Chain A
Amino acid sequence: QQQVKQSPQSLIVQKGGIPIINCAYENTAFDYFPWYQQFPGKGPALLIAIRPDVSEKKEGRFTISFNKSAKQFSLHIMDSQPGDSATYFCAASSLSRGYQKVTFGTGTKLQVIP
């Protein structure tokens, strides 16, 4: 079963727009929620992450909003640029067998048009 649901599958915005990617989870054992950015031919790279006791985290132009009661979280990219065009994965992590096991969403392909 898909433990982390992500939408939309793809997104096209104009430069300067604010794309929003949404994710939902069911497992309340998840205790860390990272976002990864992946460019073609590369592995995913950690972008920003949040813990469930915080409702919002901002790093540069990237902001995570977290709603613990609804078990939802989202990524906002302020003033988006063509260089932000990539696939974004939300993820959730929980301690499993003594290590943090990360479960990924299905990804959102973002295209920022100049």
Chain B
Amino acid sequence: GAGVSQSPRYKVAKRGQDVALRCDPISGHVSLFWYQQALGQGPEFLTYFQNEAQLDKSGLPSDRFFAERPEGSVSTLKIQRTQQEDSAVYLCASTSAGTNYGYTFGSGTRLTVV
């Protein structure tokens, strides 16, 4: 596609519920990133994929967070047993190579945990 597509745009989850957020990167982009952006803050790194390999998951805040990209294109970020502190915008970005400097971001998924 022309840009990075994320769905859903908005998600309201009850505390304790599991959620799955989807990212469809630009076609052919091998590198994919997930960032978490709290209200009024800058994006914080969560994890990085090169094709289907998750090469860096150092930013995942707890073992409730899990990301996958099984076929090297679409990626899913899953959050189990959501907590209120998980409320944030989750941004996905892609680039054609991991050594590229400029990321193309999607519009994000706003997650609200009530």
Contacts and interface: CB of A to CB of B under 8 A. Distances in A.
Most chain B CB inside 10 Å of its own CB: which residue of A32, A95, A100:
A100
A43 B101 contact: no
B56 interface: yes
A81 interface: no
Report the contact-size class of chain B (Cβ under 8 Å from the partner).
Answer: 20 to 34
B98 A99 contact: yes
A97 B56 contact: yes
Nearest to B33: A102
A34 B108 contact: no
Nearest to B97: A99
Given A99-B31, A100-B100, A100-B101, A43 B93 contact: yes
B42 interface: yes
A42 B91 CA distance: 10
Interface stretch (A13-21, A44-52, A66-74): A44-52
B108 A43 contact: yes
Given A43-B4, A43-B91, A44-B91, A102 B56 contact: no
14 contacts: A32-B101, A43-B93, A44-B103, A97-B55, A98-B55, A98-B98, A99-B31, A99-B48, A101-B48, A102-B103, A104-B35, A104-B43, A106-B40, A107-B40
